[in-house]
Amino acid sequence: MDKEAKTDFEIHPLLKSRWSPRAFEDRPVETEKLQRMLEASRWAPSASNIQPWIFFIGLKGDPAYNKIFETLVEFNQLWAVNAPVLILSCGKITTGDNETPNGIWQYDVGQSVAYMTLQAMEDELYVHQMTGFDALKAAELFSLHEDIRAVSVVAVGSLGDPAMLHPRMQKSELAERERKGMDTFVFSEKYGTASDIVEI
């Protein structure tokens, strides 16, 4: 399976090899690896160092896992059922005084998940983020205070055999990964005109 990014410029091997599988091996993840992932998320930058991220971690078979799984849309349940770990990512929407809105909380939560994702790759663990879940149900099941919002569910595990997947998911599991060209989103003077530095 060649899922490695075909890059125009050389990038870090962890960034190149990361992708979002749906087939996970039915094997628990070592606690130390999860600790490292969560430690990495902790060191993400955030606006005013507010660190608005909050994570609920579910290990297959425990109540947290079952609650997170219950919030997933049917499509995601079809494949995420194989993942040994599910993490619910949430964010606090107010700043330290609990009253002033933090306008950038969601950006910061996403960034901490990105850190987690790359640290996972270092230990040959794969992460698949999902927003196909019911955030209100998650808030209810985890009794979230009104200033805390669920953002995504993160499946974690070792790479599994694509043959275990529902047939409609096998094709994308094996397909080459695609991206837009940098000339479509890196500009200098004028929107829509590519910056010279991304010309290849």
Q: Binding residues for ligand FMN, per CB under 6 A? A: 19-20, 76, 129-132, 152, 177
The DSSP-derived string for 178-198 is ----GGGT-BSSSTTSB-GGG
Please say whether the beta carbons of 155 and 89 come within 8 A: no
Q: Are strands 53-59 and 85-92 parallel, antiparallel or unpaired?
A: antiparallel
Quick one: 74 or 189, whose CB is closer to ligand FMN?
Answer: 74
Residues 6+ apart with CB under 8 A from 54: 89, 90, 91, 92, 148
Smallest gap from residue 3 Cβ to ligand FMN (A)? 7
Quick one: 42 or 177, whose CB is closer to ligand FMN?
Answer: 177
Distance from the first to the final alpha carbon of the chain: 27
Quick one: 6 or 177, whose CB is closer to ligand FMN?
Answer: 177
Smallest gap from residue 73 Cβ to ligand FMN (A)? 7
Q: Which residue is nearest to ligand FMN (CB)?
A: 132
Quick one: 28 or 132, whose CB is closer to ligand FMN?
Answer: 132
Smallest gap from residue 20 Cβ to ligand FMN (A)? 3
Please say whether the beta carbons of 85 and 26 come within 8 A: no
Residue for token pair 């990964």: 177
Smallest gap from residue 108 Cβ to ligand FMN (A)? 14
